[in-house]
Structure 1
Amino acid sequence: MGCCDAPGLMPIEEALSKMLTPIKPITDIIERSLPEALGFVLAEDLRSPMNVPPFDNSAMDGYAVRIADLEQSTTLPLAGKSFAGQPFEGIWPETTCIRIMTGAKIPTGCDAVIMQENTQVNGNAITFNQDHIKHNMNIRPTGDDIEQGNVVLAQGARLTARDIPMIATLGFSHIKVFRKPKVAFFSTGDELRPLGSQLQDGQIYDSNRYGIKPLIDNFGCEAIDLGIVPDCQETLRNTFISAQQEADVVITSGGVSVGEADYTKDILEELGQIGFWKLAIKPGKPFAFGELDHAWFCGLPGNPVSAVLTMYVLVQPLIAKLAGHTQWKAPESIPTITKTAFKKGPGRTDYQRGVYSIVDGKFEVESTGNQSSGAFRSMSLANCFVVLEQDRGNVSVGETVQIQLLNSTLY
């Protein structure tokens, strides 16, 4: 342990290794219709059964020509039309042209398509003003986008809104995917009240579940909301037993610190085993990881920023591996110049909330203000995390720091 390490606190990299090493991806394969497949992970390579486009087609509205005909005359009579879904059929006489629309099949013998803006129409005669006509100009050849037999998406890819229309072009109505991980979650604490209720002295609204559930959804999981569980050891034990029967992962919010009414640790030792309990991360030090009889367990801190941050930094990669999402990557770090100072003491890796901008091609970042783990407004304002190394101290204006842009799960 280095001179700046906090005694008893595990570094983030070590924690992630301990979390991810024992995780085995889900192997249950199901079939989903394409409209229902968004967010699922592919269970097999998706190969194209066809060329896309399946035939040479026009990239422009204009006129199909043979270059040899234009060498004889720049004015050609119209011989017919080729529309999308209604290709030109029949004999195409020499020294004539064919009206063609975007996406329409290219007539046999066509060398180029001249866009209509480069022509003049006089009745049935089309005069072409295009210079330097090249072979295959404005023609999209067969298989230009996807060739038959190509792997268009590999096993382990999580399907996005960009993937679905591409798959539709290949004619797939159903695809094989891994089932989504099931994640049960609940908040603990007698001080927590549901939204819409009247707060009594010393009570607060349970906001954490409203931060946790969107992340579970965005991670590509099936969320099971078990509500608020009071500080009662028997009730908490029964909730754990029920949750692990329903889910692959059980996530709690609160109850993982050292308070007299924090029963989570005792119950986890009874029903499973603890991997680790405290991390060298700020905010989020009292993060717990372990294994129940039938599910993995992640215990988030009770403060709202800490809960969301540890979900994002620690639980997200765990879920990705469990889901078989082999193409998941952690956010990239970008060296950035500070516009404001950042207060920090050595001992923990600090994820402070920031707002980055790009000025003259260079990244700059400033603080969102209050960095308390209970101040969620600073998270709402942020578009990045300023990741300050474990052994680093205060940061002055003009220093270089590493930032991580927020990925889509937080938008």
Structure 2
Amino acid sequence: MALMPVDDALAQILEGAAPRGEPEMLGLAECFDRVLARDLKALRTHPPFAASAMDGYAVRAQDVKAGTVLKLQGESSAGHSFDGTLEPGSTVRIFTGAPVPAGADAIVIQEHVSPLGDGTVRINEAAIDGRHIRPAGVDFTEGKVGLEAGRLLDAGAITFAAAMNHASLPVARRPRVAILATGDELRLPGQKLGPSQIIASNTFGVAALARGAGADVIDLGIAEDRMEALDAALDSAISQGADVLVTIGGASVGDHDLVQEAMTGRGMALDFWKIAMRPGKPLMSGRLGEMRVLGLPGNPASSLVCAYLFLEPLVARLGGRPAPKRIQKAILTRDLPENDQRQDYLRGDLAPGPEGGLEATPSLRQDSSLMKIFSDARCLIIRPPFAPPAIAGDACDVLVLRP
């Protein structure tokens, strides 16, 4: 099978990806960072009445010039409106957010009014019709769409939804991502290791990335290199309703790489399993019924690079949210040789440049089994297939891992 270009692989992985199932109804307190599944209409008008925007005095603008003395007729405060009608030659003391009395058409702020102590006040500047009054419905009106489907529910959106009188919201179901590490050599952190065993570290980074993209993660643990173990893990993923099954390791075609055989044996339609990229060439993609299968390489850098490139946008799409915009422009600080037919993702540092913009410095060691280098990296420097030699000062694209 020929090596598939990265962009073609991503397009195929994302094809048809969309939120599945009916929306969930969640209380407002549970909705942060969820995606609104349907348009949300206001259940009330706000403000429901003409309201004062300032502390001051409600007046009839036509009655008031600088120096006018008015009789104090009453008071209107938030939650305690003035029930009568403002009479000519009178004023009502009013506070921010309070209903404007019938008959009033302007507010004079308290700094421009002098109480005279005998039930009257002197207005020290002319009133302007409509000034400092918030008309009824100036914010939103009942029945109008306030938030559109697809909105990521941040603090502002949740506050707005509450103001529209919604106690609960329809949100897209989080995609379920099942993660399975494979290999006889793997043990969990904290377990005793034999002489030929290593820690199954990739699972935790991949799971963190999936959660960050909006997924609920199902940890399937570690499967030994036996068909029975892989079958049992697959049964578990299906029974738990996984939208995506991510396997780590074992997806190539070596004598001990059984994942692809196990999946196709259960009916998985294999899309591809080789990509023209480095690290991460042996990436497997397929579908088993409605469940998508993504087989990541076992080496840590390969696994994480593929997770950033393919799993993160897939999870985002399945959850109805946009994928993070990680690609930026930078300037190289080191020379790089020409590239072959595979697209390179070089771990590197990223720093502000002296003239603005970003500077990218590739790490000197790029072995895909080295974890500290990936942990230290702030970016992946992207080298397209057959790129000519690059010199320090050339522009490049980078995938930002962290600021």
TM-score normalised by length of structure 1: 0.81
Segments of 5+ residues of structure 1 without an aligned counterpart are 1-6
Q: Distance in 2 between matches of 1:301 and 1:290?
A: 15
- The equivalent position to 1:396 in structure 2, one of 385, 391, 394, is 391
Do 1:244 and 1:292's aligned partners in 2 also have CA atoms closer than 8 Å?
no
Provide the residue aligned with 2:221 in structure 1: 227
Q: Distance in 2 between matches of 1:382 and 1:90?
A: 69
Q: Distance in 2 between matches of 1:116 and 1:191?
A: 77
Closer/same/farther in 2, CA of residues 21 and 62 from structure 1, 3 Å limit = same
Deviates more, 1:332-341 or 1:224-233: 332-341
Provide the residue aligned with 2:296 in structure 1: 300
Do 1:355 and 1:381's aligned partners in 2 also have CA atoms closer than 8 Å?
no
Q: Where does 1:34-45 land on structure 2 (aligned, <5 Å)?
A: 34-45=28-39
Closer/same/farther in 2, CA of residues 41 and 74 from structure 1, 3 Å limit = same
Provide the residue aligned with 2:45 in structure 1: 51
Tell me if 1:207 matches 2:172: no
Tell me if 1:145 matches 2:158: no
Provide the residue aligned with 2:281 in structure 1: 285
SS in 1 for 2:220: strand
Segments of 5+ residues of structure 2 without an aligned counterpart are none
2:250 maps to amino acid: G
SS in 1 for 2:357: strand
Note the alpha carbon deviations across 1:258-310, whole angstroms, 9 max, x for none. 54322112112211121111212333222211112452101112233333332
- What is the RMSD of the two structures over their aligned residues, measured on CA atoms? 3.5
Note the alpha carbon deviations across 1:303-322, whole angstroms, 9 max, x for none. 33333332232123323343
Tell me if 1:16 matches 2:2: no
CA shift, 1:156, in A, is 3.7
Provide the residue aligned with 2:62 in structure 1: 68
Tell me if 1:320 matches 2:326: no
Closer/same/farther in 2, CA of residues 75 and 226 from structure 1, 3 Å limit = farther
2:163 maps to amino acid: T
Q: Distance in 1 between matches of 2:129 and 2:264?
A: 74
Q: Distance in 1 between matches of 2:56 and 2:143?
A: 32
Do 1:342 and 1:396's aligned partners in 2 also have CA atoms closer than 8 Å?
yes
Note the alpha carbon deviations across 1:358-377, whole angstroms, 9 max, x for none. 766x4223337455444455
Q: Distance in 1 between matches of 2:375 and 2:327?
A: 20
Do 2:67 and 2:123's aligned partners in 1 also have CA atoms closer than 8 Å?
no
Q: Distance in 2 between matches of 1:170 and 1:113?
A: 27
Tell me if 1:363 matches 2:357: yes
1:290 maps to amino acid: G
Q: Distance in 1 between matches of 2:39 and 2:313?
A: 22
Provide the residue aligned with 1:267 in structure 2: 262
Deviates more, 1:262-271 or 1:116-125: 116-125
Q: Distance in 2 between matches of 1:225 and 1:335?
A: 36
Provide the residue aligned with 1:254 in structure 2: 249
Q: Distance in 2 between matches of 1:32 and 1:47?
A: 16
Provide the residue aligned with 2:231 in structure 1: 237
Q: Distance in 1 between matches of 2:391 and 2:77?
A: 65
Q: Distance in 2 between matches of 1:382 and 1:96?
A: 71
Larger of the two Rg values belongs to structure: 2
Closer/same/farther in 2, CA of residues 152 and 91 from structure 1, 3 Å limit = closer
TM-score normalised by length of structure 2: 0.82
Q: Distance in 2 between matches of 1:29 and 1:304?
A: 35
Do 2:19 and 2:173's aligned partners in 1 also have CA atoms closer than 8 Å?
no
CA shift, 1:400, in A, is 1.9
Closer/same/farther in 2, CA of residues 193 and 170 from structure 1, 3 Å limit = same
Closer/same/farther in 2, CA of residues 66 and 388 from structure 1, 3 Å limit = farther
Provide the residue aligned with 2:185 in structure 1: 191
Do 2:331 and 2:395's aligned partners in 1 also have CA atoms closer than 8 Å?
yes
1:269 maps to amino acid: T
Q: Distance in 2 between matches of 1:126 and 1:350?
A: 77
2:283 maps to amino acid: F
Deviates more, 1:236-245 or 1:266-275: 236-245
CA shift, 1:391, in A, is 3.4
Closer/same/farther in 2, CA of residues 24 and 67 from structure 1, 3 Å limit = closer
1:213 maps to amino acid: A
2:318 maps to amino acid: L
Closer/same/farther in 2, CA of residues 319 and 137 from structure 1, 3 Å limit = same
Closer/same/farther in 2, CA of residues 76 and 318 from structure 1, 3 Å limit = same
Closer/same/farther in 2, CA of residues 57 and 212 from structure 1, 3 Å limit = farther
1:401 maps to amino acid: C
Q: Where does 1:108-187 land on structure 2 (aligned, <5 Å)?
A: 108-116=102-110, 135-187=129-181
Q: Distance in 1 between matches of 2:322 and 2:14?
A: 13
Provide the residue aligned with 1:4 in structure 2: none
